[in-house]
Amino acid sequence: MSSKRRGQDGGGDKKRPRAVRQKHLYLVLDDWNKGFTIHKIDAGSFCSGSNRHDEGFLPKSPALRLDMPQHVGMFFAAMDCKIFIFMNQRCALVYDTETAVVAVGPHAPTQMRCGSGIVAPAGGTLYALSYRFLDKQQHSLEAMSWDSTQLDELQRPTTGGWSWKTLPAPPPTFSPNQLIISYAVHPDGCTIFMTTAYRDRPGLHVGTFSFNTKNSVWKWHGEWALPFIGQGYFDTELDQWVGLRKDGYICSCPVASRTRSLTRIMQLDWQMAKEKLFRKDPERHMSASHSVIREGEDMKYPLGDQNSCAIHMTMFGLKHNYKRELHTTNLQSSRSYIVSRHKSYFSPEAF
């Protein structure tokens, strides 16, 4: 009895291989004197298993340039294939990385004049907790989402678009003199956990809160802190949150319970990988996003067109070994780029 491989006889069951979708990183920098630049970097340029620390230059043709008045603050966030550009007291811009189209979004709410503490995507909506340090009022929580059935002033249907909605403010225990130092979205897709600290003492943790986006309810979980700084991410393979510590080490921890509170003693059982992501000289690091002052440059964070900084970007995998210890896989690879800086308050963003 003869046999043939599928499709060998030209039958209709022959299938074409699916095209592999090319992946890109989008890097936001303040590398020119008029505003910001979004660079599009091919993820395939990170050679697997290599560790390239030789410093090169980014492509001369960026994906997008943003001309910004000097007095306007800006911050960035990403959700799915869109990068959101928020300007204090001005309209938002939405950059679609798939179509390269820039759309004009709604004006930021008045409560966002003091800037945003965090911007977290959950369930197709961006949640922005806005600090109210200037007017010493309670912080506010705003949500930006797409509405396909909007109405105009005469209650007539109009073309849908992005819009803001004000949500319940944090509880009084989340006082106006606190800021968020770390946060992560629960794998349920609707609960955002946030660890706070006092503004004048960011190293002194107050505790951890959560906000449920379905029922708009805040919850206090106790005097414990998430083990990373900035944003943490849920890793489906580890079934844990993963983040970066201030000292440059990667850490992971179990996902916190949405209902149970912990005491100061009952912290999350976190662990740290042995491999350090940062380079040896911690004093030259400017932020957890891993931009550093180049050797030979002034340590006062020089600004201008002198290419005084270097961006180190690293791709890696994580897994547990047979001892349940966390470590990076051999897929780790790095690239370095020489860049300029023009704004002392801004740290590079990568999506």
Does the pLDDT at position 7 exceed 50? no
Q: Does a structural domain hold residue 290?
A: yes
Strands 318-320 vs 326-328: parallel, antiparallel or unpaired: antiparallel
Domain span at 290: 22-63+281-351
User: At residue 43, what are phi and psi to the nearest 5 degrees?
Assistant: -65, -25
Q: Are residues 266 and 298 in the same domain?
A: no
Percent of the chain with pLDDT over 70: 73
Does the pLDDT at position 213 exceed 90? yes
Q: Does a structural domain hold residue 109?
A: no
- Is residue 212 within a helix (H) or strand (E), and if so which, with residue range? strand 201-212
| Backbone torsion region of residue 111, taken as left when φ is above 0, otherwise alpha when ψ lies between -120 and 50, otherwise beta | alpha
pTM of the predicted model, to two decimals?
A: 0.81
Model confidence pLDDT, tens digit, residues 266-313: 578 889 888 777 765 554 444 445 455 555 554 455 566 667 787 878
Domain end (from 277, 299, 326): 277
Q: Are residues 249 and 300 in the same domain?
A: no
Q: Does a structural domain hold residue 15?
A: no
The domain tally of the chain equals: 2
Q: Does a structural domain hold residue 330?
A: yes
Q: Does a structural domain hold residue 70?
A: no
Q: What share of the chain is helix, strand, coil (3-state, %, to 5)?
A: 5, 50, 50
Q: Tell me, what's the pLDDT at 253?
A: 94
Which of 11-20, 271-280, 319-328 is predicted least confidently?
Answer: 11-20
62 C-beta neighbours (distance < 10 Å), count: 19
Q: Are residues 289 and 271 in the same domain?
A: no
Task: State the Cα torsion 201-205-206-211 to the nearest 10°.
Answer: 120
Q: Are residues 214 and 315 in the same domain?
A: no
Domain end (from 242, 262, 277): 277
Q: Are residues 142 and 200 in the same domain?
A: yes
Judge whether 87 and 72 are in contact, CB under 8 Å: yes
Model confidence pLDDT, tens digit, residues 58-107: 878 899 998 877 666 778 889 999 999 887 767 788 999 999 999 888 88
User: At residue 110, what are phi and psi to the nearest 5 degrees?
Assistant: -60, -35
Q: Tell me, what's the pLDDT at 285?
A: 44
Domain end (from 248, 277, 306): 277
Model confidence pLDDT, tens digit, residues 253-271: 999 988 876 665 457 888 9
Q: Does a structural domain hold residue 7?
A: no
Model confidence pLDDT, tens digit, residues 129-187: 988 877 778 899 999 988 766 555 555 444 468 888 999 999 988 988 899 999 999 99
Q: Tell me, what's the pLDDT at 160?
A: 61
Q: Tell me, what's the pLDDT at 21?
A: 67
Q: Are residues 121 and 264 in the same domain?
A: yes
Q: Does a structural domain hold residue 98?
A: no
Q: Are residues 290 and 270 in the same domain?
A: no
| DSSP type of residue 277 | S
Question: Measuring CA to CA, how many Å separate 240 from each of 7, 219, 272, 318?
Answer: 43, 21, 12, 11
Judge whether 132 and 178 are in contact, CB under 8 Å: no
Judge whether 270 and 227 are in contact, CB under 8 Å: yes
Does the pLDDT at position 35 exceed 60? yes
Task: State the Cα torsion 279-328-238-324 to the nearest 10°.
Answer: -110
Model confidence pLDDT, tens digit, residues 215-251: 999 999 988 999 999 999 999 999 999 999 888 889 9
The token pair at 343 is 């704004």
How far does the chain reach from its first CA to its final CA, in angstroms?
A: 55
Q: Distance (Å, rounded) from C-alpha 58 to C-alpha 261?
A: 46
Q: Does a structural domain hold residue 92?
A: no
Q: Are residues 130 and 265 in the same domain?
A: yes
Q: Are residues 199 and 272 in the same domain?
A: yes
Q: Are residues 141 and 203 in the same domain?
A: yes
Q: Tell me, what's the pLDDT at 120?
A: 92
The token pair at 74 is 């800006």
Q: Tell me, what's the pLDDT at 63?
A: 92
Query: pLDDT band for position 42 (50/70/90)?
Result: confident
Q: Give the mean pLDDT of the chain.
A: 78
The token pair at 216 is 């708009």
Q: Are residues 195 and 259 in the same domain?
A: yes
Q: Are residues 139 and 245 in the same domain?
A: yes
